[in-house]
Structure formats: C-alpha cells, structure tokens
Structure 1
C-alpha cells in the first residue's frame, strides 16, 4: 500500500475465492467453516474499502475488527455492518472460524427497493456503532433467512436475481426489527415529514464519500444538490444532529488518519493528496480536530 487505502471489489474477492456463492460481481454470501493457522493472511488483514455493505454474524471464533480506525472485539453472536466507504481491517485469531456473511455492492443495494427513509436513523447510528450483540434465538431467525437466500442463489430460477433482492431486503428488515426491539429510536414507525430531507442527506453522504479527499467546502455539496448553503446546512442538521461541516471534517480526518497510520506517504504527500494548499495548513487543520500534529499522530502509531 504505497499510496491510499486500497479498494477491493466483489469481483476481486470472487476471483480470490472462486468457491464463494453469489450473483455476478454484485452479491456474495458465505457461511463456510475455516481453519485459520498462525501465518494466514485473510483478505481484510490490511485496511481496505469495499464499494458496498458488509454484513457478518460471527458463529465461531473471535476476531479484532478495525472499522474506521476504531477497534472492536468480535465474539460469538456479534453482528457487524459496514457501510459503503468504511475502512475495514480484520485480524482473525488462530483456530476454527464460522460467520454468516454477505457482501453486497452499492448498485445491487439500490435495486433492493427497501425503504431507505425508514432506515435513515439506523444508518446514522451505524456510523457511531457498527457492532451489535445478538441473542442465540435471533441468530437462528437470521439463519433461516440465510438458508432460504442460499437455496435461491444455488438454483437456476428465471427470476433468481429479483428473488434474491427481495429476500435480502427482508433479511435487512429482520435485522432492523431485531435492533428496534432494543432501541426503538433506530427505526421510525412512520417516517412522514422528513422523507425529502432524508433523501437529500443520503445524497450528501454519497457525495461526501466520493469527494471528501478534494472538497471540504459546504457550499460545494450544497451546489451539487441544487440547494442554498443555508438550506442545505439546515437539512443536514435536522436529519443527523450534526452540521454538514462536522460530517465533512469527520470524513477528512478519518482519511488523513488512515493515510498517516497505514500508508508510506510522507506528511507532505498526505497533505497534497488531500488537496490542502500546503503541509502547514494541513497540520493546523489536523491538530485543531485531533489535538495532535500529524507527526505526533504518526509517531503514536
């Protein structure tokens, strides 16, 4: 990794693991048992991004998973969900491992026709906490969905892709229902008045994922959405509880930390790669948001 944090496609994952079940290069599922020896290098040993979502429920074995530079200990019955653009690194402990896992491309996800409006509070919560512990009976409920999806993927039905999309949508709704039992604020029963605002917020996050390395101006994102900066800022704050500027800074700092920690780029190279006018400006920006200079942060790692 000489420059930026690597991206990995589902196509590449299928190429590396030809036995995985799936549909084209948009959808992969796996629930096979693996033995991990001491010297094995799994796909996500080094920080990577997937253009899609990752859903994984651990059934055997333990792991340390780094999501957006935050470390989580993953044990039996732990669910993790990574959103598109998240930085993922996973270190598996030696031994037997079994997880129920889906990798779903952004394009496939868009065609699933789930009500993203009702899921928006859940999406915002995932940014703060992508890990959830499930009860054994909840894991079994999700296993029944998994088996039905797996059977469908293995058949040659005329409408297989459409059936899998609908079943996968039901699987996501089931996860939402399970999590809603514990924290009702995750999912809104009646989305009503915020629908338009939530759609705009989702578009903002997509734009931010694509442009945050080069654009830190609130008015840039407002222009892309054909909104005035004032109205745009009001919408983002209303939906997410954070200002547009806070979201932008969060994405930029996460990227900068990842590059300083994992790449071989110098501080000067990171500053230019992130479109700062000079290393001094980058250093002041980084220290303002983290309390450390880039060199101090790099030394800590």
Structure 2
C-alpha cells in the first residue's frame, strides 16, 4: 500500500482516487492513515476484524495495524491522509491515552451526512496544503490541521459510539478488550495463554472462560490467529527468509515454525509465499 507510505522528506501524503489495486494485499502499516469512503463499497479487515466500507465511512488506521481490502466495487473511491509515525507522535503528544485506545477499538464508523461537513473541510484543507509545497509555514500549519482533524474525528466518532453503545460494560467484556490489546502488543513473541493471564492478574483458566463467554472461541485460538496474520504479512511483504521470520517471532526452530504455520493454514510457509 505504497500510496499510504511517507518518507523523511515528505512526512504526509493526501489525495483522492480509485483503489481497485488494493484488493487482497495484506499489509502492515508503518504510518497513520485516515481513509474516507466517497463512493462505492468494499470490505476491510483490520487486525482480524472485518468492516464494510460505504459512502461516509471513515477509517482510522494507527501504526502497526494489519489491513486487507476485499470485495472492492469498480467505483470504490477513497480520500486518504497518511502521516509518519513521528509526526503522529508530535501532534498527539498531549492527548490522553484513552484517545488512542478508543481509536484502536473503534477504527471504522459510518457517519451521518450532517456530521461529515467539518471533517470534509479539514480534509480538503490538508489536501490543499499537501500540494502547496512553497508555503514556508507548511509543517506547522499541517500539525495544527492534523491535530484538529484527529480531535474532530474523535469527537464525532465517540458521540456516535455513545449513542449506539448498550448501557454499561461487563467486567468480562473489559477483560476481553484488555486481552486483545495485549495480544496486539505481544503476539510476535508470546503465544501462551498463561502469559496474558499473568498480565491481567487472573488465572489462565479464568481467562479462557472469559474469552469463551464473550467470543464463543478460545483464548489460544485468538492468539494463534494473530500470530498467523503476522507471519502472513512477513511472508508476503518482506524478503525475509523463513528462518529469519522464525527467529524474529521467537519460534524454537524453523521446523517447529513450519509445522505451526501448516497446522493453521494447510500450507507450508514457502507455499503460502509463492501462491498468487
């Protein structure tokens, strides 16, 4: 997804276009990206959760998010803004951690028409600034724009979420959310339920019960799905050898790594890498 990739010389990109070429391209983002669907439809998988994109659907993708687009319609049109991890850290340095947690848990939302006007105005301003390369205050204006843009997105999304959210949230649902956050953070090195239970100060048995109650699946299967997704990204988007990927993800050896991957996908790592 090179179009969403920034450089040291140009820490942000912005534009609007048709993106049929994005279909079935599994990618882990290095930067922050905000997408806004203008026309058409598509599905997007964000860290194993699937969402439908339609006009006025807004997507916020934080660094290290894994995404994949499917079922893209011929008229699918997206406005996009992407900015580097460093720039994102600079403009969000004073924001509360709940801001990031909320966007991570709610990356995709379809806004009512009347709530898109201010966001559209800010997005247009950022796109104009992107092309105004002679502006000597471009970087400072950009930081102000992006901070305003993110805060406006947070406000619109948060209010909409509060309107739709059921009253209260159970302790088990809260534990599940914290479990998922930990899996996102540690799955590349930790694959045992006991590790996550210890982080949550509960027993592995209780964690397994909670996950089964909330999701009707097991904690181990959720961990494994995230690990497999990370492996697929490394196989498809890097030139790392199978041995190097095995080492990077802390498997004991390449043989165990290959058996683990084949158990969950039916393919060897090289078969997956070489398939279309």
- Common fold: TM-score over 0.5: yes
Q: Distance in 1 between matches of 2:49 and 2:70?
A: 13
Cα offset, 1:125, TM superposition: 3.5
Q: Distance in 1 between matches of 2:261 and 2:2?
A: 24
* 8 Å CA contact retained: 1:7, 1:50: no
TM-score by length of structure 2 reads 0.64
Q: 1:161 to 1:184 in 2, by over 3 A?
A: same
Asked if 1:27 is matched to 2:15, the reply is no
Any unmatched runs of 5+ in structure 1? 1-5, 13-22, 186-200, 218-229, 285-292
Aligned to 2:41: 62
Aligned to 1:290: none
Once the two structures are superposed, what CA deviation does each residue of 1:92-128 show, in whole Å capped at 9, x if it has no partner? 52422322211111011122245331xx224224444
From 113, 131, 145, the equivalent of 1:167 is 145
Aligned to 1:213: 188
* 8 Å CA contact retained: 1:61, 1:97: yes
Q: 1:269 to 1:78 in 2, by over 3 A?
A: same
Aligned to 2:85: 106
Asked if 1:276 is matched to 2:251, the reply is yes
Cα offset, 1:183, TM superposition: 3.6
* 8 Å CA contact retained: 1:62, 1:75: yes
Q: 1:295 to 1:261 in 2, by over 3 A?
A: farther
Match of 1:95, SS state, is: coil
Q: 1:82 to 1:132 in 2, by over 3 A?
A: same
* 8 Å CA contact retained: 2:27, 2:233: no
Asked if 1:176 is matched to 2:148, the reply is no
Cα offset, 1:82, TM superposition: 1.2
Asked if 1:255 is matched to 2:233, the reply is no
Residue pairs, 1:185-224, within 5 angstroms: 213-214=188-189
Cα offset, 1:252, TM superposition: 7.4
Q: 1:170 to 1:53 in 2, by over 3 A?
A: same
Runs (4+) of structure 1 moved beyond 4 Å?
A: 6-9, 214-217, 249-253, 264-273, 278-284
Once the two structures are superposed, what CA deviation does each residue of 1:135-173 show, in whole Å capped at 9, x if it has no partner? 111122211111222233333222111101111100100
RMSD, matched Cα: 4.5
Any unmatched runs of 5+ in structure 2? 164-177, 193-197, 212-220
Once the two structures are superposed, what CA deviation does each residue of 1:258-288 show, in whole Å capped at 9, x if it has no partner? 425984899988654421224797799xxxx
Q: Distance in 2 between matches of 1:9 and 1:183?
A: 27
Q: Distance in 1 between matches of 2:2 and 2:135?
A: 32
Residue pairs, 1:283-298, within 5 angstroms: 294-298=261-265
Q: Distance in 2 between matches of 1:278 and 1:147?
A: 51
Once the two structures are superposed, what CA deviation does each residue of 1:190-244 show, in whole Å capped at 9, x if it has no partner? xxxxxxxxxxx9xxx8xx86x8635779xxxxxxxxxxxx9xx58x99xxxx9xx
Q: 1:154 to 1:266 in 2, by over 3 A?
A: closer
Cα offset, 1:27, TM superposition: 0.4
Name the count of aligned residue pairs: 230
Aligned to 1:158: 136
